[in-house]
């Protein structure tokens, strides 16, 4: 495609992803978001993706500042809307490596509808949700993943709500790759982002990111356990039923303070939405984006 031809084959260095301008709105010291940035840079470098080959769409929240720290094509969208923008970009230009990002409030709350339907349609992209179990940027309000009993300015007596279970929701909605990692484990996080970027379909990563500023009494997400490595867990991530059971156990464990991470579901057989649309002739084989650069193309 016009996009991928620009950077293809160029050797990349992690510094290539560092913008020349210092971010004006910065993350707090100790924030787990730095772990996402480090893992994303490592993954992009390992796959040899140059900044010109990548599009990063973000929502609103501390997670949305990722665009300021990571130099690629970018689109800082409105609250909860990183996925629709990412979907359109990927459909128009399948050659671009699309990463969508947002927080738990942004992605599971305000943009929850988009999350379900992007998963259902299996759009080819990596979706990283910075899950710190609160709204960080707006000063620590209760979010969809806050544990029951969690006290905040919006729930001063403690939340009376059961938290949303993002892994299970992702599976029921239709994601074809589902993983959870944590900022305290950048090596596992990098490996998971590499797999997600290589996956043809909707790859959802629930990324546990500590917020030391507003979620002080809560977790640092340590010690974590990798369910794919530990002898205590035996399940097949390609088996939907076994994956569902493992997710239910994992989400209950997090509520009890035990951090389980790893790959929970992998389906490499299901075609992505773009592939489906091309197969039925609803979209042309060549990237739509090329038509915008082609002055001789006659629109019908
Ligand atoms: Fe990170 Fe929390 Fe600071 Fe936001 S408020 S940058 S989530 S530590």
The ligand 1 atom at the shortest distance from the C-alpha of residue 103 is 7
Are 183 and 210 contacting, i.e. CB atoms less than 8 angstroms apart?
A: yes
CA of 173 to the centre of ligand 1 (A): 29
Alpha-carbon torsion angle 230, 236, 238, 240, nearest 10: -110
298 in any annotated domain: no
248 in any annotated domain: yes
With bands split at pLDDT 50, 70 and 90, how would you rate the model's confidence at 44?
very high
pLDDT at 81 over 50: yes
- State the average pLDDT over residues 147-155: 91
Six-digit token pair at 177?
């790759």
- Going by alpha carbons, the residue nearest to atom 3 of ligand 1 is 28
Q: Is 27 in the pocket of ligand 1 (CB under 6 A)?
A: yes
DSSP 8-state assignment for residue 272:
P
CA of 142 to the centre of ligand 1 (A): 14
CA of 278 to the centre of ligand 1 (A): 41
Percentage of the chain surpassing pLDDT 90? Answer: 78
Task: Please state whether 183 falls in left (phi above 0), alpha (psi between -120 and 50) or beta.
Answer: alpha
CATH code assigned at 237 = 3.40.50.970
- Going by alpha carbons, the residue nearest to atom 1 of ligand 1 is 31
Six-digit token pair at 216?
């002080």
Closest CA relative to residue 260, chosen from 231, 300, 299, 223:
223
Q: Is 98 in the pocket of ligand 1 (CB under 6 A)?
A: no
Q: Is 193 in the pocket of ligand 1 (CB under 6 A)?
A: no
Are 250 and 227 contacting, i.e. CB atoms less than 8 angstroms apart?
A: yes
Task: Please state whether 133 falls in left (phi above 0), alpha (psi between -120 and 50) or beta.
Answer: left
Helix ranges, the chain (H) = 2-7, 33-46, 66-69, 82-92, 104, 112-121, 166-173, 186-198, 240-255, 273-279, 288-293
pLDDT at 2 over 50: no
20 in any annotated domain: yes
132 in any annotated domain: yes
Are 96 and 51 contacting, i.e. CB atoms less than 8 angstroms apart?
A: no
The residue segments making up the domain with residue 128 are 2-293
- Going by alpha carbons, the residue nearest to atom 5 of ligand 1 is 136
Q: Is 266 in the pocket of ligand 1 (CB under 6 A)?
A: no
- Going by alpha carbons, the residue nearest to atom 2 of ligand 1 is 211
111 in any annotated domain: yes
Peptide bond into 265 cis (omega under 30): no
If one counts the domains in the chain, the total is 1
Residue 286's pLDDT is: 77
C-alpha distance across the termini of the chain, in Å: 22
Q: Is 134 in the pocket of ligand 1 (CB under 6 A)?
A: no
With bands split at pLDDT 50, 70 and 90, how would you rate the model's confidence at 1?
very low
DSSP 8-state assignment for residue 199:
S
With bands split at pLDDT 50, 70 and 90, how would you rate the model's confidence at 218?
low
With bands split at pLDDT 50, 70 and 90, how would you rate the model's confidence at 8?
low
300 in any annotated domain: no
pLDDT at 7 over 60: no
Backbone angles phi, psi at 264, to 5 degrees: -105, -30
pLDDT at 143 over 80: yes
280 in any annotated domain: yes
pLDDT at 5 over 50: no
């Amino acid at each position: 495609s016009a996009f991928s031809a620009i950077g293809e084959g160029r050797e990349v260095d992690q510094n290539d992803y560092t913008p020349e301008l210092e971010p004006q709105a910065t993350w707090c010291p100790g924030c787990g978001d730095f772990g996402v940035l480090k893992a994303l840079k490592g993954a992009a470098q390992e796959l040899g993706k140059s900044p010109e080959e990548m599009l990063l769409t973000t929502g609103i929240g501390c997670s949305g500042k990722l665009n300021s720290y990571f130099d690629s094509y970018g689109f800082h969208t409105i609250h909860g809307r990183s996925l629709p923008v990412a979907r359109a970009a990927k459909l128009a230009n399948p050659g671009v490596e699309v990463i969508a990002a947002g927080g738990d409030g942004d992605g599971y709350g305000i943009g929850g509808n988009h999350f379900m339907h992007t998963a259902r349609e299996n759009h080819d992209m990596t979706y990283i949700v910075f899950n710190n179990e609160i709204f960080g940027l707006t000063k620590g309000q209760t979010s969809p993943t806050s544990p029951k009993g969690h006290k905040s300015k919006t729930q001063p007596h403690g939340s009376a709500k059961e938290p949303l279970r993002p892994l299970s929701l992702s599976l029921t909605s239709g994601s074809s790759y589902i993983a959870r990692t944590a900022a305290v484990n950048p090596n596992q996080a990098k490996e998971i982002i590499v797999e997600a970027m290589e996956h043809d379909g909707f790859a959802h990563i629930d990324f546990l990111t500590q917020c030391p500023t507003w979620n002080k009494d809560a977790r640092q997400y340590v010690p974590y356990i990798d369910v794919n490595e530990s002898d205590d867990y035996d399940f097949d991530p390609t088996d939907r039923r076994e994956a569902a059971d493992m997710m239910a156990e994992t989400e209950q464990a997090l509520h009890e303070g035990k951090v389980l991470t790893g790959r929970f579901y992998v389906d490499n057989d299901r075609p992505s939405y773009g592939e489906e649309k091309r197969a039925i002739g609803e979209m042309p084989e060549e990237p739509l984006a090329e038509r915008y650069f082609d002055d001789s193309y006659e629109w019908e």
